[in-house]
Amino acid sequence: MKGKAAEVLAHNAMEGVPCAPEGLSCRSRRFSDSSLLRFLLRASLSLWLGFATSCSTPKPMNHFGNLKREYLDGLFLAKPHLATFMGDHRFDDRWPDFSPSGRELRLRVLQQQELRLASIDRNRLTREDQIDAEILSDGIKLELLYLRDIKEWESDPRLHDSFPYYDPREIVATRISDMMHGNFAPLEERLNNLAALCRGLPELLKQAQNQLANPSRVYVEQAIAVNRGRIELFGGEIAEFVRAAQVKDDVRGGAESARQLAVAGLESYQRFLEKELLPRSSGDWRLGVELFHKKFPLALQTSLPPESMVSQAEESFRKSKADLYAVAAELHKEIFPGKALPRSEAEAIRRVKDELSKDHPKASELVEAHRKNLDEFRRFIEKHDLLGLPPAETLAVQEMPLFKRGSAAAEYLAPGVLEKQAQWKATYYVDPIDPSWDSARVESYLRGNNTYEVQLTAMHEAYPGHHTQFYYSRQTPNALRFVLWNAPFVEGWAVYGENLMTRLGFGGGKNARYRFFDLRGEMIVATNALIDVRLHCGQMTEEEAVRFMVEEGFQEQAQAEKKLLRAKLDTTQLSQYFLGLQEIFQLENDVRKQAGAAFRQREFNEKLIGHGSIAVKHLRRYFQ
């Protein structure tokens, strides 16, 4: 396809935009080629000048729709892994350009788009477009922050993209895996794209390697573990996929040769990580006060300052802890009949937690424990008329692949949201027990993921949580909202769903046990926000964070250590849950006051999740 990259960046929806030069094939040239770079810059400038000229005449504004399309095209060209994940497969054969010239090009395009957005009279836009304009503004500003200030290519060797809208984070193995298991294109096309990625992988690794400055040791250690998983994937599952592919011999042979190149590149990168980078890695993993305060409002699409969220989290932590003690006192009578309640509230809570936590799945049955009660959740939701549910066959529960393990106990991924297919399927991944752990750590982790916690997690990930909310978002397609989705709302809804289920009595005679862990969950959500801000702003040490989680928040040691690692590796992510949950609680409270006796939970739920994954501040407009 000739001039694909140029056509995408210089979208010809507007008059006066130059066409791609005859014969320019972006399939056969690297995106960083100087000739293509110069052309793209000229095309972008022409696009802006054409827009500026057209603005001089007083005619109805139609430029915002063009700008949204052009922004997404440029974003996908700059981040083809994001395009593949979202279901736009125009760039499945290319990697992002990590070179300085590639970053400079993206910076200039974003600057032009920011100017164009600022010139649009938002009062003349529809309500939907006004919301989209705010979402787009935050997205542009956030990416500019990454390019100008955060510069993660200097500090993160994991081959991750922490841009919040790319949920898988890891950009190599995740993408190849999606290509193998997807049904979005014929096998031969997917295999050819896979081969192109394999051929280009050594260059991507070289670019990444050459630009690393002084990363933190924890980033390098995680990169070493993750890259081992990639090598295993390329040497095992990918090799088998290529071998078994029902395609022409020359296509299979080309893919196998490319795979071997990729394995050699990954092995070389592994040696670099272990022998060269790790010994000299002494950087700070903290984002720092200034950058954290810049990233926070853009990544979370909020006007609430981090300090205000911390105050709210502290208050929520105290209230949830008091409520937790009341439930613990109730359960203590049931679990320890005839025994006096400890004088210390903390000791009473800990005694009940320790006893309830003994009820946990076996290590070998952890994944199945997450799967087995999904039908029961569906029946409960239908009985209480909470909302309509997606078809059960649209969700699969699977063991987390090796290259994704280590930082989260569970993860929900629904790739391909932009694909125009009647059938879609999402995956709820569960991180299995690490075989390197000793028996004490395994027991600690399983106690933290006991029977009640596992079911609350399944509510969070599946019903009525992420999977249900994603199902509703698909009913009102909006490409910009699909791509620049609001994580606090998505995570807040999932936590709200857990709370709603326990509020309405899930578990029957054991409901108090679920309420106990749900309240502790609210403490964990508040704790997540507190340690996110305090760790990265230098207000809390690692030891203090773990101690706070274990001693004040009643978390298991292994659970707290894993959360600490996650906090260090993914800034602002842990604040999403608390921020979104509080915003939804406040909205529900406001709607209940306004509706009075006419309030209907199903109506509220379906309106809340029926406009895409957007921030609650935008959703409020639909309740006016």
CA distance 96 to 55: 33
In this model, does residue 24 exceed pLDDT 80? no
Residue 18 above 70 pLDDT? Answer: no
| 383-392: average pLDDT | 96
Is the Cβ–Cβ distance between 273 and 220 less than 8 Å? Answer: yes
Whether pLDDT at 33 is above 50:
no
The average pLDDT across 185-208 equals 97
Give the total residue count for the chain.
624
For residue 558, is pLDDT > 70? yes
Residue 492 has pLDDT above 60, yes or no: yes
Q: Report percent pLDDT > 70 for the chain.
A: 90
Quick one: pLDDT at residue 288?
97
- Mean pLDDT along residues 12-29: 31
Q: What is the pLDDT, as a whole number, of residue 58?
A: 37
Rg of the chain over Cα atoms, rounded to whole angstroms, equals 25
Q: Is 607 exposed, middle or buried (0-12, 13-18, 19+ CB in 10 A)?
A: middle
Q: Answer whether 407's CB lies under 8 Å from 491's CB.
A: no
Task: Indicate the pLDDT class of residue 407, thresholds 50, 70 and 90.
Answer: low
**What does residue 164 show for φ and ψ, rounded to 5 degrees?**
-55, -25
Global pTM reads: 0.86
CA distance 455 to 508: 14
Which pLDDT band, with edges at 50, 70 and 90, does 49 fall under?
A: very low
The confidence score (pLDDT) of residue 51 equals 41
Task: State residue 423's pLDDT score.
Answer: 76
Cα–Cα distance measured from residue 575 to residue 533, given in angstroms and rounded to the nearest whole number: 8
Which residue reads 């199903």 in tokens?
A: 602
Comparison of pLDDT for 474 and 293, the residue scoring more = 293
* Nearest-angstrom CA–CA distance, 533 and 537: 6
- For the cut 90, the answer to whether the pLDDT of residue 382 exceeds it is yes
Contact 158, 222 (CB under 8 A): yes
C-alpha 174/C-alpha 154 separation (Å) is 22
Question: Starting at the edge strand that comes first in sequence, how are the strands of the sheet with 426-430 ordered?
Answer: 395-399, 426-430, 410-413
Whole-number Å distance between alpha carbons of 35 and 91: 19
Strand partners, 170: 160
User: Residue 570 pLDDT > 70, yes or no?
Assistant: yes
CA distance 585 to 4: 46
CB atoms within 10 A of CB 297: 17
pLDDT of amino acid 26: 34
Average pLDDT, the chain: 90
Q: Say if residue 46's pLDDT is above 90.
A: no
Q: For 453-458, what is the mean pLDDT? A: 96
56 pLDDT more than 80: no
pLDDT at 14: 34
Rounded average pLDDT over 256-272: 98
Contact predicate 578/445, CB 8 Å: no
Q: What is the DSSP letter of 308?
A: H
Distance of CA 169 to the CA centre of its chain: 7
Which helix (H) or strand (E) segment holds residue 395: the answer is strand 395-399
Phi, psi for residue 165 in degrees, rounded to 5: -85, -10
> How confident is the model over 237-245, as a mean pLDDT?
96
> pLDDT tens digit string along 510-533?
999 999 999 999 999 999 999 999
Amino acid at 478: N
pLDDT in tens, 71-80: 999 999 999 9
More confident residue, 10 or 599: 599
Sign of the torsion formed by the C-alpha atoms of 235, 237, 238 and 243: positive
pLDDT band at 508 (very low <50, low <70, confident <90, very high): very high
| CA gap 207, 101 in Å, rounded | 12
pLDDT score for 422: 63
Phi and psi angles of residue 411, each rounded to the nearest 5 degrees, phi first: -155, 140
Per-residue pLDDT band for 97 (boundaries 50, 70, 90) equals very high
pLDDT at 13 exceeding the cut of 70: no
Q: Are 85 and 426 in contact (CB under 8 A)?
A: no
Partners of 430 in the β-ladder: 399, 410
- Taking residues 1-19, what's their average pLDDT? 37
pLDDT per position as a tens digit, 136-169? 999 999 999 999 999 999 999 999 999 999 988 9
pLDDT tens digits along 98-120: 999 999 999 999 999 999 999 99
Phi and psi, residue 2, nearest 5°: -80, 135
Q: What's residue 489's pLDDT?
A: 98
- Quick check: helix, strand or coil at residue 405? coil
Secondary structure class of 160 (helix, strand, coil): strand
Please give the biggest Cα pair distance in the chain: 87
Q: What average pLDDT does range 44-60 have in this prediction?
A: 42
